Structure 1
């Protein structure tokens, strides 16, 4: 396993992931589980955030207390499925700045094409966490990270629910500086580019579309 990849094997993460994999899990429950598992994964990806101290007054005395340092971090959703993770992340870090990257795959070239890009200012001074439930081929994820770098981001981490070996290899090849945090590294991709055994299309299961 590369140092670039962190698999969160916490029992609660794995239990919730199993429920999400089950094709019988209803849409509303799937969404709730995605919010919960995102928060658990977010604990891992934010483990080493820089801290500083500030004077506060407790009900009993004054003290220098720990608080987050620097500019507020940026959460960037890779549309559309990333929005399901964004909800959970914002519950945990409500002050985070939010951005969106919209990409679709050109059916002839199979390359990702940008259709929307809106991110916070001063990305170069923020930790940027890109969220997308599935790191499958890695083409869209790598393209999204490239766009974030072009916008000034220098400290980028990628948070996903499931990853494939192919997707991890693609990210390692194009963005070796980006840490990947996921709940599982699955077997691989099928001929349609779906992660196996996976959980199907995360966007469809999240939004009840087919």
Structure 2
């Protein structure tokens, strides 16, 4: 699956190992998620077409390669995606942000959208950020919502996925997925094993 890339980066792996520790404080959970998000974003954008910015250095004027930051819209799936948004905005401070709140029913494992706030996505590159692809239901839902707004490109950044989640999102051939690691399996409650637990609860101490 050429559109699904597992990001092989030792700094990412180091941060993910720290993140897995159940005793990690919420402040450090957020910090490790931010670090991983930055690495995923850098990998996802490393071959983007540049624009050329006229810049005066301390010694001379020149035209230099840059990213057109305001063409990117970062969309976290609330709540767990918020620390990833913070990390991405450190890399692309002029990017826009949109928000989708999608909740998974713990009994049926089906996802429901209960909040949507998106800027104009027409012709934009949308970057969905969500730590986990468990069943893939929330991410599938987010992609279906975003596609209705006619973006030029959709990229998804995810920290940990299950094999089941990968199978479910693989149908989106026109979406680029950058994933930190594929874990062993889902348990009967739809949680990734060994995983990182509930990223939203852990990040916000709830």
What TM-score does the superposition give when structure 2 sets the normalisation length? 0.94
Partner of 1:161: 159
Deviations 1:38-71 (A, max 9, x none): 1111110111222122333222222221122485
Deviation, structure 1 residue 154: 3.5
In 2: Cα distance, 1:110 partner to 1:181 partner? 23
Deviation, structure 1 residue 107: 5.8
Paired residue for 1:178, among 170, 175, 178?
A: 175
Give the aligned length: 206
Distance 1:124 1:70, change over 3 A: farther
Secondary structure (helix, strand or coil) at the match of 2:122 reads helix
2:188 counterpart of 1:191: yes
Deviation, structure 1 residue 167: 0.9
In 2: Cα distance, 1:131 partner to 1:154 partner? 17
The 5-angstrom pairing of residues 77-88 of structure 1 reads 77-88=76-87
Residues 162 and 185, structure 1, Cα contact 8 Å, conserved in 2: yes
Runs of 4+ in structure 1 deviating by more than 3 angstroms, as ranges, are 106-110
Structure 1, unmatched stretches of 5+, are none
Structure 2, unmatched stretches of 5+, are none
In 2: Cα distance, 1:180 partner to 1:76 partner? 14
Q: CA RMSD in A?
A: 1.6
What TM-score does the superposition give when structure 1 sets the normalisation length? 0.92
Deviations 1:138-181 (A, max 9, x none): 011001000000122240011011011111111112x2211111
In 1: Cα distance, 2:68 partner to 2:55 partner? 15
Distance 1:188 1:109, change over 3 A: closer
